[in-house]
Amino acid sequence: MLRLSKLTDYGMVVMAALADAEDDTRNAADLATSTGVAPPTVRKLLKRLNRGGLVNSARGARGGYRLARPAEDISIADVIAALEGPVSLTECAAHDGLCSMESVCRLRGHWRVINDAIRGALADVSVADMNRPAPNMPLQPAPGIASRLGS
């Protein structure tokens, strides 16, 4: 698996929809109909995205949301971080001292490297990238992390 939560998946859809209306302010109900995601869920997403600083909100009649920055400057990693916290494949990659085996675990340092590589890859893709017409063919796997693991 190694799956993103559904919320994050929907969150990307909402962000893409916001990127479409670059400068217009769009309200939650509007976004719900245009994305097909349930209205309460959209509201929840927008709240978190707002707190994460990815969108700006305007209250009151004719209020709504818009991207806080150009879509080019918002990465997938940003969206993930706003919705479910920073990327960290393992517990130990995120926090110190939680694992009792920490001091003797050879794996930990390696996980860190892998973790950062993946985060870096996700940070490299913007919402604007996601909003272009999709490629129809697969891709080459990303080049070597392994070479960076040796001591």
* Residues of the shown chain interacting with DNA in the complex, contacts defined by CB under 7 A: 1, 5-7, 10, 27-29, 38-41, 43-44, 46-47, 50-51, 57-65, 84
> Kind and range of the H or E element at 16?
helix 6-20
Q: Which is nearer to DNA, 44 or 110 (CB)?
A: 44
Q: Does 34 bind a copy of itself (CB under 8 A)?
A: no
Q: Which is nearer to a copy of itself, 61 or 139 (CB)?
A: 139
Closest CA to 17 of 48, 58, 55: 55
Q: Which is nearer to a copy of itself, 18 or 76 (CB)?
A: 76
Q: Select from 32, 45, 46, 76 the one that contacts a copy of itself (CB under 8 A).
A: 76
Shortest distance, CB of residue 146 to DNA, whole angstroms?
25
Identify the DSSP state of 121: H
Mapping DSSP to helix (H, G, I), strand (E, B) and coil, where does residue 138 land? Answer: coil
User: How many binding residues for a copy of itself (CB under 8 A)?
Assistant: 66
Query: Bridge-partner residues for 55, per DSSP?
Result: 67
Shortest distance, CB of residue 73 to DNA, whole angstroms?
20
Residues 8, 91, 48: CA angle, nearest 5 degrees: 30
1 by Cβ neighbours in 10 Å (0-12 / 13-18 / 19+) ranks as: exposed
Shortest distance, CB of residue 71 to DNA, whole angstroms?
19
Distance CA 21, CA 17 (A): 7
Residue 140 contact, options DNA, a copy of itself, none, Cβ 5-8 Å cut-off depending on partner type: a copy of itself
